[in-house]
C-alpha cells in the first residue's frame, strides 16, 4: 500500500535529482532561468524533507507502541501544529525566491540580456517537463486515497514545475529558431524575459497555502466545522434538556480540535458515569470523523464559568 511517507520520500529524491540537473544545465547553457528552476526545486525539496519529518512525527504520535509513549510524554498535544508551520514556511520561501529572481531578471533585461546555449537549454526543458508531469500524476493518484495536504501541495508543486518548464521550453525553441535571422537581436533577452514572466506567474501561487497555514496557526475557527458542531450540540441540548452549550473549534493542519461544554441544570438527579459516557459516544458519532486526527473533548457542568473559560481567583 502506498503511504504518505513513501510518496514524499520518492518525491524528495526526484526533486533533488532535477534540482541538481537544472543547476548543472543552467550553468552550462548560461541560462539563469534554468538555474532559478533548479534552485526553486531545491528549496521545495528541502521543505518536503521537513514535511516528511512532520508526517512521520504525526504518524508515530497517533500510532500505538512504545514510540508513541515517548512522544506523548513530551508532546501531549500532538504534532499537528507543525504542519501549518511547515506549509507556511514553504510557501513563504518560494514566494521570496521568486521575487528575488524577478528582480534579477529585470536587471538583466535592463543591462542587455545574456547569451545562452539553446541546445542544452532545450534538452533540459524536455527532460524536466516529462519527469514533472509523471511525478504530478503519480502524486495525485496516490493522494486520492491518502488525502494529505502535504501530498496535495507536493503534486501542485510538480504541476507548477511542469507548466513553468514548458514555458521555458517554448521560449528556448523560439530563441533557437531566430538564430541567424533578423530577429537574432532578441535572443539575449529570451532568458531574462521568460524568467520574469515565470516569476510573475509563480509568485501568487503559494499565497493560498500561506493564507490557510496562517489561519491554522492563529486557530481561526473553520466556519463549516463550527456550524456542524453547533447543529449537533443544539440537538443534544434539546434531547436531554440541557440549558445550553459552548463550542470551541479549531483546525490545525490535518488535526481537528473540538471542545464542547454542556450546561446541565443544577439539582439534577445523579447519573452513573456510564450514562454520561453513552451521551458522549452519541455526540462523538453525530460529529463524525472519529480518526486519530480528531481531538474531541466533551464536558458536562452546571457552572457556566467553566464553559465560558472565565478566569477564576485562586484562593490560597
Average pLDDT over residues 54-73: 65
Q: Is the pLDDT confidence value at 159 over 90?
A: no
- List domains and CATH numbers for the chain: 4-217 (1.20.1510.10), 223-308 (3.30.70.1350)
Q: How far apart are CA 157 and CA 223, in angstroms?
A: 28
Q: Is the pLDDT confidence value at 316 over 50?
A: no
Structure confidence by residue, pLDDT tens digits, 15-29? 889 889 999 998 888
pLDDT given at position 229:
93
Residues 6 or more apart in contact with residue 112 via CB below 8 angstroms: 188
For cell 493564507, the residue is: 211
pLDDT given at position 310:
55
Cell of 139: 502524486
Contact between 25 and 41 under an 8 Å Cβ cutoff? The reply is no
63 vs 212, higher pLDDT: 212
pTM flag (> 0.75): no
DSSP conformational letter for 291? S
Q: What integer best gives the mean pLDDT of the chain?
A: 84
Q: How far apart are CA 154 and CA 241, in angstroms?
A: 49
pLDDT given at position 132:
92
Structure confidence by residue, pLDDT tens digits, 1-17? 578 778 888 988 998 89
pLDDT tier for residue 315 given thresholds of 50, 70 and 90: very low
Amino acid at each position: 500500500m502506498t503511504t504518505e511517507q513513501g510518496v514524499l520520500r520518492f518525491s524528495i529524491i526526484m526533486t533533488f535529482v532535477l534540482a541538481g540537473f537544472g543547476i548543472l544545465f543552467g550553468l552550462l547553457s548560461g541560462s539563469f532561468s534554468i538555474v532559478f528552476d533548479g534552485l526553486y526545486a531545491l528549496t521545495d525539496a528541502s521543505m518536503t524533507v521537513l514535511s516528511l519529518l512532520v508526517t512521520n512525527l504525526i504518524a508515530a504520535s497517533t500510532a500505538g507502541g512504545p514510540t508513541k509513549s515517548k512522544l506523548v510524554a513530551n508532546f501531549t498535544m500532538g504534532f499537528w501544529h507543525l504542519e501549518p508551520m511547515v506549509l507556511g514556511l514553504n510557501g513563504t520561501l518560494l514566494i521570496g525566491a521568486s521575487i528575488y529572481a524577478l528582480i534579477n531578471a529585470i536587471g538583466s533585461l535592463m543591462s542587455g540580456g545574456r547569451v545562452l546555449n539553446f541546445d542544452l537549454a532545450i534538452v533540459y526543458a524536455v527532460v524536466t517537463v516529462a519527469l514533472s508531469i509523471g511525478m504530478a500524476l503519480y502524486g495525485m493518484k496516490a493522494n486520492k486515497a491518502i488525502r494529505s495536504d502535504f501530498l496535495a501541495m507536493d503534486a501542485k508543486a510538480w504541476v507548477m514545475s511542469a507548466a513553468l518548464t514548458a514555458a521555458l521550453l517554448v521560449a528556448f525553441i523560439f530563441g533557437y529558431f531566430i538564430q541567424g535571422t533578423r530577429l537574432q537581436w532578441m535572443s539575449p533577452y529570451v532568458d531574462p524575459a521568460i524568467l520574469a514572466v515565470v516569476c510573475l506567474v509563480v509568485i501568487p501561487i503559494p499565497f493560498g497555502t500561506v493564507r490557510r497555514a496562517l489561519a491554522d496557526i492563529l486557530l481561526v475557527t473553520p466556519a463549516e466545522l463550527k456550524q456542524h458542531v453547533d447543529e449537533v450540540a443544539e440537538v443534544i441540548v434539546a434531547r436531554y434538556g440541557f440549558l445550553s452549550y459552548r463550542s470551541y473549534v479549531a483546525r490545525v493542519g490535518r488535526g481537528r480540535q473540538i471542545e464542547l461544554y454542556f450546561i446541565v441544570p443544577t439539582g439534577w438527579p445523579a447519573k452513573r458515569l456510564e450514562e454520561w459516557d453513552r451521551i458522549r459516544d452519541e455526540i462523538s458519532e453525530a460529529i463524525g470523523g472519529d480518526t486519530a486526527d480528531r481531538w474531541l473533548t466533551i464536558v458536562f457542568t452546571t457552572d457556566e464559568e467553566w464553559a465560558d473559560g472565565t478566569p477564576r481567583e485562586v484562593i490560597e
